[in-house]
């Protein structure tokens, strides 16, 4: 495992409407040593195409396309099995992160010798 690497786990199912914003929020992180383990759980929309396009452009985005819909839990577990980082972070496919989220979170965990932590969140509706 890479001590500095953060493995971001994102299960996807028919998330095409929000997926680009979610992936872009990872790409815009000030902390850049990450891998995005994004698991498509047999989506029926354009999620797979979006994932492939971003993965082709950035090798830190590591997609897995499942052949059978099993739900978010099994998709997360499969991504965790493949994760190479010492830190695991969860990002749902319809969520976004502020640009300094990973930097501050990793610094907090190191400063407090934390094995597990969480952050606060805010809700954004369709109108912002």
DSSP line for the chain: -EEEEEEEEEEESS-HHHHHHHHHHHHT-S---EEEEEEE-S-SSSHHHHHHHHHHH-TTEEEEE-SS---HHHHHHHHHHH--EEEEEE--TT----TTHHHHHHHHHHHTT-S----------TT-
- Pairwise CA distance, residues 105 & 49, whole Å: 30
Q: What residue ranges define each of the domains in the chain, with the CATH number in brackets?
A: 2-111 (3.90.550.10)
pTM for this model (two decimals): 0.93
Planar angle of CA 75, 77, 81, nearest 5 degrees:
120
In this prediction, the residues of the chain whose per-residue pLDDT falls under 50 are: none
Lookup: tokens for 111: 């400063």
The per-residue pLDDT for 120 is 77
The per-residue pLDDT for 39 is 98
């Amino acid at each position: 495992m890479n001590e500095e690497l953060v493995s971001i786990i994102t299960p996807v199912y028919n998330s095409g409407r929000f997926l680009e914003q979610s992936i872009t929020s990872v790409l815009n992180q000030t902390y850049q040593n990450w891998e995005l383990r994004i698991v498509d759980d047999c989506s029926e929309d354009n999620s797979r195409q979006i994932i492939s396009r971003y993965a082709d452009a950035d090798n830190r985005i590591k997609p897995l396309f499942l052949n059978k819909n099993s739900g978010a839990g099994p998709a997360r577990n499969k991504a965790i099995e493949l994760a190479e980082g010492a830190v695991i972070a969860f990002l749902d496919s319809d969520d976004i992160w502020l640009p300094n989220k990973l930097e501050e979170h990793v610094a907090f965990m190191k400063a407090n010798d934390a094995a597990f932590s969480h952050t606060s969140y805010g809700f954004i509706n369709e109108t912002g």
